[in-house]
A = this chain, B = another copy of it.
Amino acid sequence: MFSIGELSRRTKVKVPTIRYYEEMGLLPKAARTSGNQRRYDTAGLERLSFIRHARDLGFSIEAISSLIELQEHPDRSCETAAVIARSQLAEVRAKIKRLKTLEKELSRISKGCNGAGVSEDCYVLASLADHTLCDREH
A25 within 8 A of B: no
> Number of residues in A with C-beta < 8 Å to the partner?
56
Contact with B along A85-98 (1 / 0, CB 8 A): 11011001101100
Question: Which of B74, B85, B102, B125 is the one whose CB lies under 8 Å from A81?
Answer: B125
> How many copies of the shown chain assemble into the complex?
2
Question: Which of B103, B105, B131 is the one whose CB lies under 8 Å from A96?
Answer: B103
In the complex, the answer to whether A119 meets B73 with C-beta atoms within 8 Å is: yes
A46 proximity list for chain B (CB < 8 A): 129
Report the stretch among A13-21, A31-39, A54-62 that lies at the interface: A54-62
A106 within 8 A of B: yes
A92 to B70, CA, bound (A): 35
> Smallest Cβ distance from A51 to chain B, in angstroms?
9
In the complex, the answer to whether A82 meets B50 with C-beta atoms within 8 Å is: no
A28 within 8 A of B: no
Q: Which residues of A contact B (CB under 8 A)?
A: 46, 49-50, 53-54, 56-58, 67, 70-71, 73-86, 88-89, 92-93, 95-96, 99-100, 102-103, 105-107, 109-110, 113-122, 124-125, 128-129, 131, 138
